Amino acid sequence: MDFTLHQLAIHELIKLPESSTAELRLSDRLLFIDERAERLVEKLNRTFTQKNEVLNGQLAAPEDALFPGYFQLLQESRFSETGFLQFSRDSMEALKVSLQGVGGAKGGYLVYAFYSTGKAEYSKDMVGIFLVRNTDGLVFQPAPDGNFQLHPATYLDIDRMALACRIPIKVGQEAWQPAAEVIKHARTQKEISDYFLSWLAVEESVSSIDMTRSFLEAVAAIPAPVDETTGEPMAAGAFREQVANFAMKSPGKTISIPAFEEKFYGEEHPLKSYFNENEMPLQKEFRVDSSALRDYHFHKFKGEGLYFGCKHAFLLSGKVRVEDGQVIIDDEDLAEEILAILQPD
C-alpha cells in the first residue's frame, strides 16, 4: 500500500487508573518525519483494515463541541504545520477536561498524524489519532561468553492499541459534518471507552457490522440494475455475486455508497432513497465487515453425516435447490468427483 506521512505530533496523557484527574505533557513542535515514523503510522493505520469492530459516525457541528471546533480551525489553516500542531495541543486540553471524574482509564501517548494512503487513483488524505502505551518486555542480547541473555526492554505496544480514530479529509473541500471512524478496545468498561467518543464528539455512530448488514439489506430490497449486455434487469444471483465482488475488492475494504451507485445505477440513487425512506442511518463510506459479507455471499449447511457450502447466488439460480424434500445440486464436476469414488477405474 502506498503511504505518505505529512505531519506527526506526539503528546503524553498522564493518568493512573485509580485517579480521576489527568495531566498532559505537550510537544512544542512536530516530530521529524523519517522512515521509522512512517512505518509506525502506517502500522497504526493498518489496524482499521484488520479490525471488524469499527464505529462509523460523523463529528458534531463545530459550534457544539470543542474537538470539532478545533478540527474546523485545522481545515481553515489548510493543514499547515502550525495549524496541525495547534490542533493537536488544543484537542489534548479538551481530552484532559473530558477525563475529569473518569476512573479506570489509563494514560498513554497520543499520536496525531496527517497522512495519505492508497494508490494514486484511490489515494485518501487522513487525520489519524492513536492512543498507544509503553509495555515491558524482554529481548535477547549477546553475553560475554558467546551465549545469549535476556534483558528487560520497554517498547511501544502497537499491536494492542488502546483507542484510535481517523477522519478522511479532502483539502480544499471542507464539509460539515466530517465522517469519522473509531476503534475503542475497552469493551468491558463502557464508561472508559465512551469518554473517547465524547471527546471526539462523534454522532450517529454505527458499527461496521451493522452498517454492512444495513447496506446488504438495502441492496436486496432495491430493484436490480440493468444488464448492459441484454438491456434487461440483472438476474438476482448475478447481481448478488457482483455486489460481493465489489465489496471484497473495494480499496482499503471501504465501501463507498456513491461509487456503488455510480457503478451499478449510473446517475440514479436508489440506495440513498431507500435509506432516507426507511429512516436508516447512512454513511457515505464505511468499513465492510467481512463476517457480514460472508454470511450474505456464502452459506454452510450441515445434515446427518453431511456438510457442504455454496454461494447464495447458486440458491437463487437453482443450481442448488430443494425438490420434494430432497436437495439437488446441479454440478457436473461435483457429480464426476462422486462417481469417481463410487465407480473407480
Span 80-126, pLDDT tens digits: 999 999 999 999 999 998 888 777 778 889 999 999 987 766 678 99
**In the structure grid, which three cell numbers stand for residue 275, read together?**
435509506
Both 262 and 151 in one domain: the answer is no
User: What are the pLDDT digits (tens) for 122-161?
Assistant: 678 999 999 988 888 888 888 888 888 888 887 677 776 7
Residues 170 and 249 occupy one common structural domain: no
Are residue 267 and residue 120 in the same domain, yes or no? no
Q: Is the pLDDT of residue 213 over 50?
A: yes
Is pLDDT of 71 > 50?
yes
Instruction: Examine the fold and report which residue of 183, 200, 217 is the final residue of a domain before the chain moves on.
Output: 200
Does 192 share its domain with 251? Answer: no
CB atoms within 10 A of CB 319: 15
Confidence label for 184 from pLDDT (cuts 50, 70 and 90): low
Residue 306: domain span: 295-342
| Of the candidates 291, 278, 281, the residue with the CA atom closest to the CA atom of residue 257 | 281
The three-state secondary structure class of 130 is strand
Q: Number of structural domains, the chain? A: 3
Cα diameter, the chain: 79
Examine the domain organization and report whether 289 and 304 are in the same domain.
no
Backbone angles phi, psi at 102, to 5 degrees: -95, 105
Q: Are both 174 and 322 inside the same structural domain? A: no
Average pLDDT over residues 62-79: 92
Mean of all residue pLDDT scores within the chain: 84
pLDDT of residue 174: 54
Identify whether residues 122 and 229 lie together within a single domain: no
- Looking at the structure, do residues 288 and 308 belong to the same domain, yes or no? no
**In terms of domains, do 75 and 150 share one?**
yes
Sign of CA dihedral 153, 155, 158, 160: positive
Instruction: Select from 145, 169, 200 the last residue of a domain.
Output: 200
Is pTM beyond 0.85? Reply is: no
188: pLDDT strictly greater than 50: no
Q: What are phi and psi of 143, to 5 degrees?
A: -100, 160
Residue identified by cell 448475478 is 238
Contacts of 136 (CB under 8 A, 6+ apart): 152, 153, 154
**CB distance 173 to 78 below 8 Å:** no
Q: Are residues 141 and 56 in the same domain?
A: yes
User: Sign of torsion, CA 19 184 161 166?
Assistant: negative
| CA distances (Å), origin 199, targets 44, 122, 162, 298, 342 | 20, 30, 15, 39, 66
Cell of 196: 473517547
* Residue 214 CB neighbour total at 10 angstroms: 20
What single string gives the DSSP state of each residue in 195-253? HHHHHHTEEEEEEHHHHHHHHHHHHHHSPPPBPTTTSSBPPHHHHHHHHHHHHHTSGGG
Query: Which cell numbers hold the place of 246?
Result: 465489489
Length of the chain in terms of residues written: 345
Identity at 174, one-letter amino acid code: E
Q: Which of 144, 170, 200 is the last residue of a domain?
A: 200
* Exposed e or buried b per residue across 164-203, where buried means at least 16 C-beta atoms within 10 angstroms of its C-beta: bbbbbbeeeeeeebbbbbbbbbbeeeeebbebbbbbbbbb
Question: Both 140 and 255 in a single domain?
Answer: no
In this structure, the answer to whether residues 177 and 314 fall within a common structural domain is no
**Segment 318-332, tens digit of pLDDT:** 888 888 878 888 888
pLDDT at 171 over 80: no
| 344 exposure class (CB count in 10 Å sphere: 0-12, 13-18, 19+) | exposed
> Is residue 190 scored above 60 in pLDDT?
no
> In angstroms, what is the C-alpha Rg of the chain?
25
